[in-house]
Chain A
């Protein structure tokens, strides 16, 4: 059976794919549906949801349209989640490949550095990094990647250790290929599948970390973020709890979609490769 059909037969995976598609749709049509600044005042302050159909989700403390903010927030969450995960996977695979392929002192040093990064709570590291360099979208991405590359690095290293003894690596050596070329053109691509299998967990963690940073006021101040919306709503938690609850639900559905779809993809492809 081909992997796509297998994927479509798993209800959890399909549910995840639908959630993700909805999120990506939201992110893509946000500028078309809500052109202009989502942080502009759109109506009376603290309008409850489902009162005025031009503002279906109501307005926040300053009279900003919650629905517009929600759609634009999807862009930030998705962009940061994907970019941070891509950066973490890239750094992790390169460090892991270098450590595993070079062995010896290089391996020892790189792995101790990995240990050090895993010893500092990654959220604390991200907090310190953003506060030092100043909050902007790129810095938030870098801060999250800084705390998440260690997992992929360990997995890539373990995989490289088993690959480097294989015949095709020995033959690449025999024809006089440069070791770095062997490492990155022969070994790394073959070590990637188990590393990529972690992507959904890493994207999900990155989205949650971004939300937490924004919640603490360390997100990009020029962008709408769901974490920032939750923090905004916190000031009126007693009278208008929906302002914090609605963006939180969006976060939960997004992360859940990423997990379910990711798990579905890993399972269907693992079966195809005969691993399960």
Chain B
């Protein structure tokens, strides 16, 4: 337990620095945008030069870049992300409202890709070089080549347009007064297609990693020893080969989280899921720079937290990870 705590503390300090770089870098990038929130606001509402002047002053946009960065960081310390022009609400509230949908999508898609991917990887890796191994390897490569958003559209054509089995988009049936389990089931049905589109792409990654790890493990002495002890093939595969190949997959889980979050931007757009990704697109369309900044920051924090959790899980699963080498 103390080992995990030391690891956690070390990682937390590093993460704060990284997040600081993210904030400053993103702030400066978005500052470079031609036009600011006032321009965007005036385009949609109309107003004269005096109005522009007044708004710039009220929103603090007439101050220097450095002052505004300092103000932003100070506000961040109080978990204040500023005010969204498009939504006329605090950005934090808008993001927190959308975040659960994205998390639900991400967690489900990760469970699908990790679970099915590693299971198929074990199936392929149990007999390296066999017909099923070759088939799964090539099949997974083909799957990896498929753009997620296109897979989403194809799934819509098949299951929502032609077969009419599943809804075409959204997170739940609008204006239905479902509650409790009914509502959960409704959301689950709406999530089937987006989760499949997002999860199947990354499935290939876990399958291939698992397979490669198992091919490696087959050559190890402890596997030879296990076979020499006369353990059943099933036992050798599951308890020795697959178990050792599983650890790198868990690290991948953390590394993939940023990718998954990026992928969900497009998938949310295809399926009209009101999540963080769709919000990012709305922010881009409305030139709502502070909102975009808030979304990028939230995503970065999410990625950092997921990686911390993965590190902790890893420290528990692999006794070889000592506190000494944990900071590497």
Residues of A whose CB lies within 8 Å of any CB of B are 12, 112-113, 115-116, 118-125, 127-129, 131-134, 204, 208, 211-212, 215-216, 218, 227, 230, 234, 237-238, 241, 244-245, 248, 251-253, 255-256, 259-260
Contacts and interface: CB of A to CB of B under 8 A. Distances in A.
B266 interface: yes
A11 B269 CA distance: 38
B284 A234 contact: no
Contact of B145 (A115, A234, A256): A256
Contact of B18 (A112, A122, A216): A112
Contact of B147 (A112, A128, A129, A211): A211
Interface of B: 14, 17-19, 21-22, 25-26, 29-30, 32-34, 138, 141-142, 144-150, 153-154, 156-157, 161, 255, 258-259, 261-263, 265-266, 269, 280-281, 284, 287, 292, 295-296, 299-300, 303-304
A245 B262 contact: no
Nearest to A204: B145
Nearest to B293: A128
A112 to B, nearest CB: 6
A251 B201 CA distance: 14
B259 A121 contact: yes
24 contacts: A113-B21, A116-B18, A116-B25, A119-B300, A120-B296, A120-B299, A124-B299, A127-B265, A127-B281, A127-B284, A129-B29, A131-B292, A134-B34, A211-B147, A234-B153, A237-B157, A244-B153, A248-B147, A251-B147, A252-B146, A252-B150, A253-B145, A259-B141, A259-B145
Given A241-B157, A256-B142, A256-B145, 5 more contacts: A115-B14, A122-B262, A132-B32, A252-B146, A259-B141
A260 to B, nearest CB: 7
Nearest to B24: A116
A123 B22 contact: no
Contacts, number: 135
Task: Pick the most buried of B18, B141, B259, B303: most chain A CB atoms within 10 A of its CB.
Answer: B18
B200 to A, nearest CB: 13
A73 to B, nearest CB: 13
A119 B303 contact: yes
Contacts of B25: 116
Nearest to B289: A132
A252 B14 CA distance: 39
Main secondary structure of the interface of A (DSSP, over half): helix
Given A119-B19, A124-B296, A215-B149, A259 B30 contact: no
Contacts of A237: 153, 156-157, 161
Nearest to A123: B262
Nearest to B301: A119
Contacts of B296: 120, 124-125, 128
A122 B303 CA distance: 12
Contacts of A230: 149-150, 153
A124 B284 CA distance: 10
Contact of B266 (A125, A134, A216, A253): A216
Contacts of B287: 131
A203 B297 CA distance: 28
A128 B265 contact: no
Contacts of B142: 252, 256
Task: Pick the most buried of B34, B263, B280: most chain A CB atoms within 10 A of its CB.
Answer: B280
B150 A248 contact: yes
B133 to A, nearest CB: 13
Given A208-B147, A211-B147, A256-B145, A119 B263 contact: no
Given A112-B17, A116-B18, A116-B21, A241 B265 contact: no
Of all A-B residue pairs in the complex, the 8 with the closest CB atoms, nearest first, are A123-B262, A121-B262, A248-B150, A255-B145, A116-B21, A256-B145, A132-B33, A131-B284
Nearest to B31: A132
A132 B29 contact: yes
Contacts of A116: 18-19, 21-22, 25, 300
Given A119-B19, A128-B296, A259-B144, A216 B281 contact: yes
Contacts of A115: 14, 18, 21
Nearest to A238: B161
A124 B297 CA distance: 11
A65 to B, nearest CB: 21
A122 B138 CA distance: 27
A238 B164 CA distance: 12
B253 to A, nearest CB: 15
Contacts of B262: 121-124
Nearest to B17: A112
B292 A212 contact: no
A212 B268 CA distance: 12
Nearest to B201: A208
Contacts of B32: 132-133
Contacts of B149: 211-212, 215, 230
Contacts of B280: 124, 127
